[in-house]
């Protein structure tokens, strides 16, 4: 169980305008669940966040909701709560695979991380990103 200060800091990170900050905290919670039921509403809310973001290094691009589903699953497990039915989510893609899919789709990819994230969103919106179970 988190202290009130820890909870406030965690919820602030999960509400950050910066998607990378949200994903970093989600990764922390997925690896080391806090076991605090006060986190569950925010984690559940983030499972609908479709913002493209860097999920891992080497660059793997996906959506915030992918990381949120993992954190939510970890929190529910440590709290002895039944898992939610796994959702089908767009899969994270390595930078190389993303570039190949974009080229095959005839998309022009801008340079840098923002370009990769935009390409991911464009491919997702066209239905060209494979889906797989979130495991939540």
- In tens digits, the chain (136 residues) has pLDDT values of 899 999 999 999 999 999 999 999 999 999 999 999 999 999 999 999 999 999 999 999 999 999 999 999 999 999 999 987 667 899 999 999 999 999 999 998 888 999 999 999 999 999 999 998 765 4
The domain tally of the chain equals 1
For the chain, strand residue ranges (E) read 52-56, 60-63, 88-90, 93-94, 131-133
45 near 76, Cβ under 8 Å? no
Alpha-carbon distance 77 to 83, whole Å? Answer: 7
75 near 47, Cβ under 8 Å? no
134 near 70, Cβ under 8 Å? yes
Enter the pTM of the model: 0.92
Two tokens at 60?
A: 């793997």
Q: Which domain holds residue 55?
A: 4-133
């Amino acid at each position: 169980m988190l202290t009130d200060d820890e909870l406030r800091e965690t919820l602030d990170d999960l509400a950050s305008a910066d998607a990378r900050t949200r994903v970093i905290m989600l990764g922390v919670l997925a690896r080391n669940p806090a076991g605090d039921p006060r986190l569950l509403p925010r984690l559940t809310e983030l499972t609908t966040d479709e913002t493209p973001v860097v999920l891992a290094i080497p660059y793997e691009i996906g959506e915030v909701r992918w990381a949120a589903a993992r954190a939510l699953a970890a929190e529910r497990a440590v709290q002895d709560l039944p898992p939610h039915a796994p959702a089908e989510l767009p899969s994270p893609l390595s930078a190389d695979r993303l570039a190949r899919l974009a080229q095959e789709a005839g998309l022009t990819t801008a340079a840098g991380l923002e370009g990769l994230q935009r390409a991911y969103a464009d491919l997702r919106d066209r239905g060209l990103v494979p889906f797989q179970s979130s495991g939540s």
